[in-house]
Structure formats: C-alpha cells, structure tokens
Structure 1
Amino acid sequence: MEKLQQGTTAFRRANFALFAGGFITFSILYDVQPLLPIFTKEFDVTAATGSLTLSVTTFTLAISMLFISSISEAWGRKPIMSVSLLLSSLIVIITAFSPTFSSLLGFRILQGIVLAGLPAIAMAYLGEEVDPKSLGIAMGIYISGNSIGGMAGRIITGSITDLFSWRVAMGSIGIISLILSLWFCFHLPNSRYFSPKPLKLKTLSKSLIGHLKDPALLCLFCIAFILMGSFVTLYNYIGFELLAPPYHLSQTIVGWIFIVYLTGTFSSTWMGRLSDSLGRKKVLWICLIIMAAGAVVTLAVPLVLKIMGIAVFTFGFFGAHSIASSWVGRRARTAKAQASSLYLFFYYSGSSIAGTAGGFFFSNFGWKGVIGFILCLLLLAFPLSLKLSSVTGNPVQAAN
C-alpha cells in the first residue's frame, strides 16, 4: 500500500479531518485568552493570576502528552484522538458553569489532560501515514487548522461575551467543537502503517531518553519552548494593552484583532512548502527574524502599526512552528509519537512558564517590558538554530 500522497482523495480526507481536529483543540485551548481581562475583574485577581486559566491547561496538556503518546503506541492513533476531541468538547461546556475562579482553574486543568490526545498523536499519524514528499504540505495544513481554531476561538468568545457573557461564549465553543468532533471520527482514515507495540513503561522511558540524547532533536525541543513562550506571552497581554488608554477598544474588537491568525494559516502551509525546496534551516532562520521584527513593530503607538506588528509576528511564528514540528517527524527514526510528544511538551511548557512570567513584566514595565522579554527569548533561539545546522550524522536511535 502506498502512503497518502498529495492529490489523492484519502490525502484530502486525512488533512481535512486533522484540520478539524486542530481547529477544535486550539479553539478550546485558547478561548479563555481574550477573556483574561474579564477574569481579572470578575474574580478580582491580577493579570498574572488570570493568565493561569490558560497556563494550567497548557501545563497539564504538556505533561499528559508524554503519557498519551506512549499509550497510543499500544492502543492506536485514531481511537485516542477521537475520544480526546469528544470529551474535550463536553468539558468546555461544563466549564462555562464554573461558579468560582478555583473551580474554573480545576476544569481548565482537567481540560488540558483530555485535550492532549490529539496534539500528542497527530504529528505521529502524519509521519506514519503520509508520503515524505507530501509531509511538509500535510503538516502545514494541520497547523493551519490550529491557527484558524485559535483565531476562531478568540473571535467567538470575544464577540459573544460582548453580546451576552463569557459563559455563553464558552458554551458556544463547546457545541461547535462537539459537532466537528463527530465529523472527525467518521472521516479520518484508519491507520495503515501503525504497528501496535506492548505497553512497557521501561521501554518507553528509554525511548524518551533516547530522543533527548539526540542533539538535533534537543535543539528543536528548546526552540519549541521559545517559539510558543514568545507567542503566548504576546497574545496573553495584548488584550490588556488594547482595552486600556489610549485605545479603549471593546471586547469584540479586541477579539476580532485575532483575525491576524489568518497570516499563520498562510505561512504554515507556504513556509512548509518553501522548506521542502529551499531547506528547513534557512527558512527557520528567516521565520525567527520575522517574529523579532513583528514584536518590535508592536511598540509603535498607532493602532494600525501595532496590529501590523502582531500580524508579522504571527506569520513568522506559524512558519517556524510548521518547519520545526515537521523536522521532528523526519529526524526521529523510531518512536515518532514520543518524539512528537517531547516537542509538544517543551512547546506547551513554554506557553505555561513564559506566558505566566510575561505577566510580571507587563505589571512592572508595561508593554515595553513584554516585548523586551519576548526579544530575549527569541535571541536564545538563534544559537540553538546555529547548533542545529551544525549537527550531522545519523540521529540517536530511540529504543523500541
């Protein structure tokens, strides 16, 4: 049997299904982000504390993915992804009824555990089922689903919150996600190249350690931490900036600013395709420079320039993430799910740690402090990129 190739019906079905899965995951994950200023007022907490509604989810997501990816090596890819999406949709509906900030955090912690099923496995599924020549574009399409989902989640919650309340907005996200989850279950092709392995924790531990011993993969993991840490920090606190003087924007308008995510939809696919022809190393460097440039532009006071800076930053981020994530799938020769889960563990750890730490810089130094923090993170990515480009030879083989 041939692997899924671009232009075939099976390839389109797989990509549309995973696009929907990414949409669900990221709309649920980030639907609270435009609500952070509301949480700080309604529950009387600081900006950094309010950001925990996102950080605790990404943190439990990061940890859970390490275990779920290992379980998928024994139980299969599609069943776990399907259950994850269905349960996540139900939990977000329940979260809308949270009576206190503590209960809200509790549901968001549970949400992170359940959400882990799709992102922990999707990249491994693509790496196994898609022909290597089509992997770049396939990964780009999946990540574009992530970007549109993240954008839609923010826009929907921002708009509906202005009309009704944040609770109605979150419940709406849950209903939409439930419908798409059912569509995912019926349309994703079953795995054809997956070979189940007995669930042996000792062997799986060796597999994870083996990936961490590969210098190229370790560089990619650290870059993932930096990319997501920078990205979430900017989006966590831009709402506070735009709701305050001199802008005084409404919650709806702030939510619609996330439409700049569309630049990520384009860049993830385009940069993925470009990396297939020009080389991943060069295009990754370009994306990091684009992110830094966009961050600097957001320091401008005029609203148009600030939004342009956010768009440029987003364009660079999704391009870099598309390249780095597909690189992990190619570099890992065995236990691909574990390699993907480690990448995402670092990725979401960056979201949790840097995203919350950014609240300290915003509270003490304002928006300039946030951008200074982001630029420091991005500067760390350049030596990692140089190290990555110098790594040669075969990767360290993880134990099976």
Structure 2
Amino acid sequence: MLTLMTVLVGLSPSLPLLILFRVFEGVIAASFPAVAIAYIGDVLAPRYRAITTTVVSCGFLVASVLGQVYGSLMNRSFGWHAAFLWLAVVYVLLAISILLLPKGTRPSTQISFGAVCLRTIRLFRNIRLVVSWIVAVPILLCFIGMYSGLGVLLSNGFGRSAGELIEVQLLGIPGIVLSLVAGYAIRYYGAKRVLISGVLIGCLGLLLEAVSHSIGLLTISSIIVVLGLSSAVPGIIMLVGHFGNEARGSATAVYAFFVFVGASLAPLLETALVSSYGVRCFFVVLAGILFLTALLSGFGIRYSSSK
C-alpha cells in the first residue's frame, strides 16, 4: 500500500491530487512504528526489548535526518518526482525482506474492529499513559524544529550554503548512534530516568545553540541535542508499552499519533517565532519546552517499579 501511494505521489499531475495521495501515504506510513514496537514484544524475550526498541527508535530518527538530506539531493539532481519513485523501489524491497522475518504470535481469540476502538478509547482513562503520550509531542517537535532553525541560522547568521547544512545534519547521526546505550541504561536505571536525562541533555544542547557564534560550537551543540532526544525516545516507548500492558499495540499506535503531531507542529512554531523574534529566540523557546517536558515527566509519570 505504501509503495502504491508513493508512486501515485510521484506521478501526481496536480497539487490537489498530490495532497490527497500524501494524506493516504502519511496514514499508512504512520502505522509502522506501532506495528514495529508491538512486533518486538511478540518475537523477543523481555530482556532484549529495551535495546531492540532503542535500535528501532534510532532507525526512525536517522531516517528523519537522512530523509531531509535525500530529498534535498534528489530534488536538486533529478527533481522531486524522482525522489518519490526511487523510494517506491525501496519499499518493494522492504516488503520482500519483511516476509523473511519470524512470524509474530497470533491472538487466541479474534477481536472485532469495534472492540479494538473501544479498548483504545479506554486507554485514555490511564493518566500515566496519557501523560506519556503528551510527553512524546515535544520530542519530535524539538528534533525537527532544531534542524529547521539550524538551516536558518547557518544561512542568515553565518552565510553558509545548503551543502554545508547537509554536512551539519549528517554530523548529527553519530549522536543518534551513541544513544544506543540508552537501551542498556534503561535496564539498569529505568525508562523514566533515561527519559528525563535525555530531555535535559537536549535542553542543554538547544541553549548552547542559542548562544553559539561559531560553526564548531553550533555543530557540537546540535549533536548534543540529537544525542539527548534520541536517548529519550526509547524511554517514552518503554513507558507507553508498560502502561499499555496487554493493549501495548493500541497504546503505541496512539503514541505514534502524538509523535507525528509534534513533527507537524515544528514548522508552524518555527514560522511563528523565527520571523518575529529570530532563530536564537526559537532555540530558547524549544529549550523551555523541553525543560517543562522534563518536569511533566518527573511529576506526572508515576512509574510503578522501583526504577
């Protein structure tokens, strides 16, 4: 389905059709995080779930960086149509590779669609789960917003080209890879502590970006932001799975919705703040959002385990 919609997007002859096909493409793509996390719980023993969830979440974040780089390079070289058509080829290969994965467990009893919807609605009674969902919004908001603001600062503040922005974006990937240790940290310190620590590290990095007056410090600051937010993501996912309990798949699906809400709000917030107050103020606002997120996580999420 994703392959088909991506081909239709790439071949769209008009803007209304492009928007329509992008809506369907987005709905289908947004289902993958929920399915992937639920699948991990089906096929892996509990002691492997934290590190595997971290790897998967790192994959999503790496994709958010590489996707921007890929789109920029493809658009400049071959046009935006080709960017989507080549992705469709990749999706076909992924669909084939998925067939080679172990089969997940099947439910002992079939559940109707209406029952699934009702169970999902009932999840909103769980205050700790709702807070975990809300905490997920600022993570991708600040992640995407940081990169958007970084492009503006490099262009307007330092007079750098788009090619140099790509280099800085790629330098953030090691920060995402380093966050793999978060999976091991969760096993020893608990998901909540790892979440709060990652958010505060991201907050520190954004404050450093706001006062950076050299390319070197700006690059290091962006890596710190990426490292912190990448470390926080697996902590949120583990908490959502824990509070969702047997409805882990539904809880993760709602989590994915909140994550994409955050991603969608990032450019809107950037447009509202950067034009009026400047990009450095935008970074300070993002840092403030993360600090409030850390407070909400600390006081609003009561984790039942000793960790």
Q: Which moved more, 1:105-114 or 1:336-345?
A: 105-114
8 Å Cα contact 1:127/1:330 also seen in 2: no
C-alpha RMSD over aligned residues: 2.3
Q: 1:254 aligns with which of 165, 168, 171?
A: 165
Quote the residue 1:16 is aligned against.
Answer: none
Q: Give, in whole Å, the separation in 1 of the partners of 2:304 and 2:238.
A: 18
* Structure 2 partner of 1:273: 184
- Alpha-carbon spacing, 1:281–1:391, altered in 2? closer, same or farther (3 Å): closer
With over 3 angstroms needed to count, the CA separation of the structure-2 counterparts of 1:257 and 1:89, relative to structure 1, is farther
Would you say 1:161 and 2:72 are equivalent positions? Answer: no
Segments of 5+ residues of structure 2 without an aligned counterpart are none
Q: Is the 2:191–2:238 Cα contact (8 Å) retained in structure 1?
A: no
Return the match for 2:293 from 357, 366, 381. 381
Give 3-state SS (helix, strand or coil) of 1:187's partner.
coil
Match of 2:31 in 1: 117
Give, in angstroms, the shift of residue 99 of structure 1: 4.7
Equivalent residue runs for 1:132-211 within 5 Å? 132-184=46-98, 186-192=99-105, 194-201=107-114, 203-211=115-123
Q: Deviations over 1:163-222 (max 9, x none)?
A: 3333333333332333233222x2221112544532141x33432233222222122111
- The amino acid that maps onto 1:167 is H
* Residue 129 of structure 1 pairs with residue 43 of structure 2: yes
Whole-Å separation in 2 of the counterparts to 1:189 and 1:229: 34
Question: Kindly tell me: are residues 206 and 114 of structure 1, through their superposed partners in 2, closer, same or farther at Cα, counting changes over 3 Å?
Answer: closer
SS at match of 1:333: helix
d(CA) in 2 for partners of 1:302, 1:205: 51
Assess if the C-alpha contact under 8 Å between 2:200 and 2:291 holds in 1.
Answer: no
Figure out how many residues of one structure are paired with residues of the other and give that number: 303
Which residue number corresponds to residue 222 of structure 1? Answer: 134
Measured after TM superposition, the shift of residue 388 of structure 1 is 4.1
Q: Secondary structure at the match of 2:278?
A: helix
Q: Which residue, out of 341, 344, 350, partners 2:253?
A: 341
Rounded Cα–Cα distance in structure 1 between residues aligned with 2:217 and 2:12 = 38
Give the deviation of 1:91 after TM superposition. Answer: 2.5
Counterparts of 1:265 and 1:94, CA distance in 2: 34
Paired AA for residue 197 in structure 1: Q
Alignment of 1:357 with 2:283, yes or no, is no
Offset at residue 284 of structure 1 (A): 1.7
AA matched with 1:111: E
Deviates more, 1:106-115 or 1:131-140: 106-115
Q: Distance in 2 between matches of 1:105 and 1:196?
A: 39
Residue 239 of structure 1, aligned match among 151, 171, 176: 151
2:2–2:25 CA contact under 8 A, matched in 1: yes
- The aligned residue for residue 45 of structure 1 is none
Match of 2:130, as an amino acid?
A: L
Shift of 1:226: 1.7
* Counterparts of residues 87-102 of structure 1 (less than 5 Å): 87-102=1-16
CA distance 1:246–1:148, shift in 2 (3 Å): closer
Q: Which amino acid in the other structure matches residue 295 of structure 1?
A: L
Task: For 1:246 and 1:142, locate their aligned partners in 2 and report how far apart those are by CA, in whole Å.
Answer: 35
- Gap regions ≥5 residues in structure 1: 1-86, 394-400
Rounded to whole Å, the distance in 2 between the matches of 1:329 and 1:293 is 28
AA aligned opposite 2:249 = A
Paired AA for residue 243 in structure 2:
R
2:214 paired residue number = 302
Given candidates 208, 213, 237, the residue that maps to 2:125 is: 213
The answer to whether the Cα contact below 8 Å between 1:358 and 1:373 also exists between their aligned partners in 2 is: no
Counting only pairs closer than 5 Å after superposition, residues 66-77 of structure 1 correspond to structure 2 as: none
When normalised by structure 1's length, the TM-score is 0.69
Q: Distance in 2 between matches of 1:99 and 1:301?
A: 45
8 Å Cα contact 1:156/1:255 also seen in 2: no
| Alpha-carbon distance in structure 2 between the residues aligned to 1:167 and 1:240 | 26
